[in-house]
Amino acid sequence: MSDPLDLAVRTGLPDDMLYLVRDLPRDRWIGLDQTAAFWLQMHAGFRAQQGRMAALTGRWRAGDLDLRGLHDAVLPELQAFLQHLDGHHRIESGHYFPAFRRIEPRIQHGLDLLDRDHDAIHAHLEALLQSGLAFHHAVRDGAPGAPDRAHRLSDILDQAAPALTRHLDDEEDIVIPLMTLRGGVA
C-alpha cells in the first residue's frame, strides 16, 4: 500500500497540517512581512523557470525550435533552476525548518513531510542534471542520438513538474501562515 502523503501521489495536505492556513487563507496573503513575501517570490521564480523550460521543449517538439536553439536556450535555464532550487531547499531544511519547529511544535509532521519532499525532489533534480549533461554532450559532439537526449530531457522535465508544483503549494500552505501568524524567522 502506498503512502497517500508521498509526493508522487499526494493531492493536498491533510487537515491537521492546514490549521494555520485556515487562520490565514491565501486570499489574505497581502502585505506580508519581508521574509514571507520573499519566500513567495522565490517560489514564483521556480514556477516561472519551470514554465519557460516547458515552453522551450514544447516549441522543439512542435518543430518551432531546432536542436541547437533548444540547447542554447534550455540549458542555461536548467542550470539556474537546479542551482537555485537546490540552494533554496538547503536553506529551508538547514535553517528555516528547525526554527519553525521551535516556533510552532504542532507543525512538526508538516515540516517532516516537506523535508521528505526535498529528498524526492532532489531525485528529480539529479535526473534533470544527468539528462541535461547528456543532452549537452550529444549536441556538442554532434552525436546522432542528440534528438533522443532532447526527448529524454523533455520527458524528465514533464515528470518533475507535478511533484515540484505540489510541493511548492503545500509548503506555502504550511510556511506562509506560520511566518505571518507566529512571527517570521530572520
Residues 141-167 pLDDT 10s: 999 999 999 999 999 999 999 999 999
User: What helix, strand, coil percent values describe the chain, rounded to 5?
Assistant: 80, 0, 20
Residues 39-48 pLDDT 10s: 999 999 999 9
Give dist(CA 75, CA 78) in Å, integer.
5
What lies within 8 Å, CB to CB, of 157 at 6+ separation is 50, 53, 54, 57, 128
Quick one: pLDDT at residue 184? 60
pLDDT at 59 over 90: yes
pTM of the predicted model as reported, rounded to 2 decimal places? 0.93
Query: Across residues 106-127, what is the average pLDDT?
Result: 96
pLDDT at 25 over 80: yes
pLDDT at 78 over 70: yes
pLDDT at 113 over 70: yes
Mean pLDDT of the chain: 95
Quick one: pLDDT at residue 1? 62
